[in-house]
Amino acid sequence: MTIKPLTILGIETSCDETAASVVRGVTPGPGEILSNIVFSQTEAHAPYGGVVPEIASRAHLEILDGIIERALSDAKISLAELDGIAATAGPGLIGGVMVGLTTAKALALASGKVLVAVNHLMGHALTARLTHGVEFPFLLLLVSGGHCQLVGVGGVDDFRLYGSTIDDAVGEAFDKTAKILGLPYPGGPAVEAAAENGNPRAYDLPRPLLGKRGSGRAGADFSFSGLKTALRQLAETGISAEDASASFQAAVIDILRDRTRIAMQMFRRDFSEGSGPDSNKLVVAGGVAANQAIGAGMNRLCAEERFTALIPPPRLCTDNAAMIAWAGVERLSAGAKGDALSASPRARWPLATGPT
């Protein structure tokens, strides 16, 4: 029996990217990206050194219709040919989420298609299935501007939290570091570029929680605020932005490797006891996964721990709507009937909760 692929329109407006995409596929993937339009509002927020929620929601409102029209026309698909409409329903900046979700509801109502209210984090989490057709289970390191988590993913409805940040998200730490060092916004790519010309051993920065294994929920938790504070104090003494960026990035890589190594043990215990030594997979997702040095560090860790590393291409690591459309494919394929038109936008929406 051949399974009919689903064709889904995805809409993403939870932060500062206004995005729409049409994806067609069958789980576990890979899927076919028929169009992928991303409009980044970076320039609008740059003067403020960070995302201004009011500016973001107004900009989403102004351009989302045109972005959706382009996504449909690039894909050469009409609304009538879709199997469903998926939109980010949270977590994120509530004004932006409302714009995207409300637009999706209106389109679903007008076209008679199902609505899928997608958790943005699930979009990031399942991107490696869209790109590589990765089978469940896998260990996920989700590193973005708002989130830093290690999650065991057993299925579309099975997310187990092994660790999360107790203070800043790692992307946030990159953005704050850029600000401290006078580098342009957005900080992640700027710090990565500066680090290429710097000495990673120039400054001895702290690695909070390194080597510490908590019990239960705190098993593989992250902390970045001590690193940021040390950097701020150092910056007051006058330092090289290149060396500081390289030293900061090296500390981040050490922290991510150490925490992920602990989560690998938790993942093996949950999912892979008795299975072959090379069958474990680590997926790195979220905007920070676009960082090549972090990717190389995680690849080395995987070689040491006999995991296979999978990192989606940068344009699918940062916010986009193809991952939201794909999450729609996943949920409908897993038997979900779609969500009610009364589905609420959510500023907070954890993907996974740890053992209590």
State the residues that interact with ligand KG4 by CB under 6 A: 15, 144-146, 171-172, 174-175, 186-189, 192, 286-288, 290-291, 318-319
- Whether the Cβ atoms of residue 103 and residue 345 lie closer than 8 Å to each other: no
**At residue 218, what is the residue type?**
A
Is the Cβ of residue 83 or residue 175 nearer to ligand KG4 in the bound state? 175
CA distance 190 to 326: 30
Q: CA of 71: how far to CAs of 11, 80, 266, 284, in Å?
A: 10, 14, 41, 27
Is the Cβ of residue 10 or residue 338 nearer to ligand KG4 in the bound state? 10
Is the Cβ of residue 7 or residue 144 nearer to Zn ion in the bound state? 144
**Token couple for 262:** 């602990």
CA distance 296 to 180: 26
Chosen from Zn ion, ligand KG4, none, partner binding at 13 (C-beta under 5 to 8 Å by type): none
Rounded to a whole number of angstroms, the minimum distance from the CB of residue 124 to Zn ion is 6
Chosen from ligand KG4, Zn ion, none, partner binding at 256 (C-beta under 5 to 8 Å by type): none
CA distance 252 to 174: 9
Rounded to a whole number of angstroms, the minimum distance from the CB of residue 137 to ligand KG4 is 23
Rounded to a whole number of angstroms, the minimum distance from the CB of residue 1 to Zn ion is 36
Instruction: Of 209, 145, 140, give the one whose Cα is nearest residue 174.
Output: 145
Residue selected from 175, 319, 330, 339 as contacting Zn ion according to rule CB under 5 A:
319
- Whether the Cβ atoms of residue 224 and residue 173 lie closer than 8 Å to each other: yes
Q: Quick check: 13 binds Zn ion (CB under 5 A)?
A: no
Q: CA of 214: how far to CAs of 218, 257, 305, in Å?
A: 5, 16, 20
Rounded to a whole number of angstroms, the minimum distance from the CB of residue 82 to ligand KG4 is 25
**Token couple for 185:** 């916004």
Is the Cβ of residue 72 or residue 140 nearer to ligand KG4 in the bound state? 140
Q: CA of 337: how far to CAs of 139, 157, 217, 319, in Å?
A: 27, 14, 32, 26
* Angle value at C-alpha 305, between 147 and 350, nearest 5 degrees: 20
Could you give the string, one character per residue 134-163, with x where binding to Zn ion holds by CB under 5 A and - elsewhere? ----------x-------------------
Instruction: Of 187, 221, 11, 222, give the one whose Cα is nearest residue 116.
Output: 11
Is the Cβ of residue 108 or residue 178 nearer to ligand KG4 in the bound state? 178
Chosen from ligand KG4, Zn ion, none, partner binding at 312 (C-beta under 5 to 8 Å by type): none
Rounded to a whole number of angstroms, the minimum distance from the CB of residue 198 to ligand KG4 is 14
- Whether the Cβ atoms of residue 173 and residue 181 lie closer than 8 Å to each other: no
Rounded to a whole number of angstroms, the minimum distance from the CB of residue 22 to ligand KG4 is 20
Task: Kindly identify the residues of this chain, within the stretch 60-79, that bind Zn ion according to CB under 5 A.
Answer: none
| Binding-site size, Zn ion (CB under 5 A) | 2
Is the Cβ of residue 181 or residue 288 nearer to ligand KG4 in the bound state? 288
Is the Cβ of residue 82 or residue 121 nearer to ligand KG4 in the bound state? 121
Chosen from Zn ion, ligand KG4, none, partner binding at 318 (C-beta under 5 to 8 Å by type): ligand KG4
Rounded to a whole number of angstroms, the minimum distance from the CB of residue 141 to ligand KG4 is 13
Rounded to a whole number of angstroms, the minimum distance from the CB of residue 205 to ligand KG4 is 16
Contact residues for 270 (Cβ-Cβ < 8 A; gap 6+) = 137, 152, 154, 160
The site for Zn ion (CB under 5 A) is made up of 144, 319
